[in-house]
Amino acid sequence: MTILDLFRLDDRVAVVTGSGQGIGRAIAWALADAGADVVLNARRLTDLEVTAAGVQDRSRRALIMEGDIRDFSEQLAERTLAEFGRIDIWVNNVGGSDDKNVHRLDDTPDEIFRSQLELNLTSAFQGCKAAAKRMAEGGAIVNITSGAGTRGSPFTGPYAAAKAALINMTQTLALELADRGIRANAVSPGPVITEAYREILGIEDKLEELIATIPLGRAGTPDDVAAMVLFLCSPASSWITGEHHLVAGGRTHRSYQYRPKEGGVG
């Protein structure tokens, strides 16, 4: 036995929402690399099939459950139990923005605010509930939050508010679940160039501007985030709960003045 064995997840069962691409797919593959079977969720089946093939290439079982995660967590959890008999790990990774327009907070339609909260906060709340009541001692929940939730975030106000609330909810959950030996942590990525980032921010022409804001001098990769999630799901982090972990190249600690422009990379 070496300390590296503490990072293994052999025969554990993990659920990863939003695992059809991007960060969620990298998390699913990382957990499978460590020995877990993985239940995959997103709306597009073709993407999920690619993720599932990657899990199987790692000699682990993959179960696809496509569907919109909003009001779907109970079904996801029940099917996981029926197929695998246990839930050890649950990663609430779905999130982002379906609003293609740029709004100041005082100009944001109520329905956009509500829908951002539903996608980024309520769906994770439902996931936490569905997971926690079915987990045994040793269970681990990880909520994917955002650096945007740690400070004022012009032009992404509803998203940032939802992620900030999710960080706080993770802390409460951790305290309430500690006596059952279940841990909950939040992971906040900085800018990771995924489909979401490309689509929403049209990032290609702003990449240089973006990288100039990151002390470590590059954008993040999905694996940067997946490595942290793997640690938090594994026995290597068995004394860590209720924490908020930034994976952001030092970006959220920059001390220089930065004034985001409308449509810029805040």
Q: Residues with catalytic annotation? A: 159
Residue 23 or residue 141: which is nearer to ligand NAP going by CB? Answer: 23
Q: By CB under 6 A, name the binding residues for ligand NAP.
A: 18, 20-24, 41-44, 47, 68-70, 93-96, 119, 144, 146, 189, 191-192, 194-197
Residue 207 or residue 235: which is nearer to ligand NAP going by CB? Answer: 207
Q: CB of residue 93 vs ligand NAP: minimum separation in angstroms?
A: 5
* E strand or H helix at 117: helix 110-117
Q: Report the C-alpha gap between 183 and 95 in whole angstroms.
A: 21
Beta-carbon contacts of 201 under 8 Å, excluding residues fewer than 6 positions away, are 265
Residue 108 or residue 150: which is nearer to ligand NAP going by CB? Answer: 150
Q: Report the C-alpha gap between 119 and 94 in whole angstroms.
A: 7
Q: Report the C-alpha gap between 116 and 154 in whole angstroms.
A: 15
Chain centroid to Cα 137, Å, comes to: 22
Residue 101 or residue 238: which is nearer to ligand NAP going by CB? Answer: 101
Nearest CA to 145 out of 265, 23, 29, 234 is that of: 23
Q: Report the C-alpha gap between 9 and 6 in whole angstroms.
A: 8
Nearest CA to 37 out of 19, 11, 73, 16 is that of: 11
Q: CB of residue 195 vs ligand NAP: minimum separation in angstroms?
A: 4
Which 8-state DSSP code applies to residue 242? S
